């Protein structure tokens, strides 16, 4: 932060000087245009026609003990908005480590290996955030994860392992969309011009969107896990239990659909209705667990228990999404 004195011109207007290093960092020169805006009592001055070039984010490969750690850190660099990530080594990057990097890049939309050397791999993000309709993308992501959830439950009811596998594969693939949406929402929180493009009035609106993406990401995760647990069943549960679980899932799927619609429409009445249904889900959850106590097959009992737990978790995140809708309505 710099403190500068406000000065006046002969014509009665006001002006301030700016630190030379700031001007150099933004690559501005005399005569360039800047925009001046008021936001929540603050005056914001920014380049009118361009964004500052981001510095590459560097990751030292020796700090990663295994593939999981490397994957987490490269993914985090991508999700927080770095356009260029350099994975470097003071010696050389081993062939196995380069394979790890390529596998991580495959799970991130828009990220590519732009340069590769013996001691360095440069990752470049090619996604232009201004080309995305953020709210339309959120709507589609929610619809995709709900389809995975519904198909996972259908595979349970119809004892269709092939459908369960298909639902799981689609759910796993949707992780890429979640990471991209998280990145876009976080970029909007940090960039005034991007917020304007994405129809977000202020930073708090961007934070609410970020929360909603997080809730939908959790819903997508548990939908995928339900499909996985269906495949783990040793035998199909008794019909009354399947009917109970299916009814619970039907209500929860409706909760997610209505929560998403209420968020996009900023409809706090519809959001309130979503939260009201949580008690009904809890009641069905307890009833399902009572039936599970009578299940004799231990492995099947564990799998169906996890399915019921994951449905309940989706209901909780749908309710949280509804809370985000109320926040959005008053932003």
Helix (H) or strand (E) holding 50: none
- Tell me, what's the pLDDT at 297? 61
pTM as predicted: 0.86
Residue found under tokens 């917020």: 195
| Per-residue pLDDT band at 261 (split at 50, 70, 90) | very high
Fold designation for 130-329: Methane Monooxygenase Hydroxylase; Chain G, domain 1 (1.20.58)
DSSP-based three-state secondary structure for 36: strand
- Write down the domain spans for the chain: 7-47, 57-125, 130-329
- Arithmetic mean of pLDDT, 80-86: 95
Q: What is the mean pLDDT of the chain?
A: 92
Residue 234 is classified by DSSP as: S
pLDDT at residue 11, rounded to an integer = 84
Beta pairing partners, 87: 59, 121
Q: What are phi and psi of 88, to 5 degrees?
A: -120, 160
Topology, domain 57-125? Translation Initiation Factor IF3 (3.30.110)
Q: Which of 190-194, 203-207, 243-247 bottoms out in mean pLDDT, i.e. has the lowest?
A: 190-194
Please give the pLDDT value at position 298. Answer: 66
- Among 49-53, 142-146, 163-167, where is mean pLDDT lowest? 49-53
Report how far residue 256's alpha carbon sits from residue 148's, in angstroms, rounded to the nearest whole number.
12
Tokens at 101, concatenated: 């990097």
Residues in Cβ contact with 75 at an 8 Å cutoff, skipping those fewer than 6 apart: 104, 107, 108, 179
Of 2.60.40, 1.10.10, 1.10.357, 2.10.260, the CATH number of 7-47 is 2.10.260
For residue 279, what are the β-bridge partners? none
pLDDT at 235: 83
pLDDT of 225 higher than 70 = yes
Q: Point out the least confidently predicted range of 10-14, 34-38, 227-231, 265-269.
A: 34-38
Give residue-wise pLDDT tens across range 135-144. 999 999 999 9
Mean pLDDT across the stretch 80-85? Answer: 95
Give me the mean pLDDT over the 15-31 stretch. 88
- State residue 3's pLDDT score: 87
Q: Is the pLDDT of residue 327 over 80?
A: yes
Which spans in the chain are helix H? Answer: 20-25, 67-79, 95-106, 134-158, 161-190, 192-197, 203-232, 239-265, 268-276, 278-292, 298-329
pLDDT band of residue 12 (cuts 50, 70, 90) is: confident
- Whether pLDDT at 51 is above 60: no
Q: What is the mean pLDDT of residues 86-105?
A: 93
Q: What is the DSSP secondary structure assignment for residue 331, as one 8-state letter?
A: -
Report helix, strand or coil for 54: coil
Burial label, 302 (beta-carbon count in 10 A; 0-12, 13-18, 19+): middle
> Percentage of residues in the chain with pLDDT exceeding 90?
68
Is the distance from CB of 113 to CB of 101 less than 8 angstroms? yes
Inform me whether the pLDDT recorded for 234 exceeds 90.
Answer: no
Task: Copy the structure tokens of residue 57.
Answer: 């984010």
* pLDDT tens digits for range 281-296: 999 999 988 888 776 6
Q: CA 204, CA 329: separation in Å to the nearest integer?
A: 12
Residues 6+ apart with CB under 8 A from 136: none
């Amino acid at each position: 932060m710099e403190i500068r004195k406000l000065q006046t011109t002969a014509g009665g207007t006001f002006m301030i000087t700016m630190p030379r290093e700031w001007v150099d960092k933004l690559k501005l020169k005399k005569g360039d245009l800047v925009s001046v805006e008021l936001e929540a009592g603050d005056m914001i001055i920014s380049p009118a026609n361009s964004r500052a070039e981001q510095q590459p984010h560097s990751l030292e490969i020796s700090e990663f003990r295994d593939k999981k750690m490397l994957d987490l850190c490269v993914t985090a660099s991508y999700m927080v908005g770095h356009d260029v990530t350099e994975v470097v080594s003071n010696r050389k990057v081993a062939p196995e480590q380069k394979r790890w990097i390529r596998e991580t890049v495959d799970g991130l939309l828009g990220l590519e290996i732009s340069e590769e050397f013996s001691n360095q791999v440069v990752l470049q993000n090619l996604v232009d955030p201004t080309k995305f309709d953020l709210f339309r993308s959120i709507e589609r992501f929610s619809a995709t994860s709900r389809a995975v959830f519904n198909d996972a439950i259908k595979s349970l009811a119809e004892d269709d392992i092939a459908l369960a596998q298909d639902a799981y594969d689609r759910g796993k693939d949707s992780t890429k969309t979640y990471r991209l949406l998280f990145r876009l929402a976080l970029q909007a929180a940090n960039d005034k011009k991007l917020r304007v493009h994405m129809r977000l009035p202020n930073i708090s609106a961007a934070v609410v969107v970020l929360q909603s993406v997080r809730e939908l990401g959790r819903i997508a995760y548990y939908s995928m896990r339900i499909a996985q647990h269906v495949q783990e069943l040793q035998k199909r549960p008794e019909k009354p239990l399947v009917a109970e679980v299916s009814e619970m899932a039907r209500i929860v799927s409706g909760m997610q659909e209505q929560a998403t619609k209420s968020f996009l429409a900023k409809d706090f009445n519809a959001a309130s209705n979503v939260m009201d249904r949580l008690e009904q889900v809890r009641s069905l959850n307890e009833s399902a667990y009572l039936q599970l106590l009578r299940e004799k097959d231990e492995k099947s009992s564990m799998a169906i228990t996890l399915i019921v737990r994951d449905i309940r978790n989706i209901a909780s995140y749908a309710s949280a999404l509804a809370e985000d809708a109320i926040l959005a309505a008053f932003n």
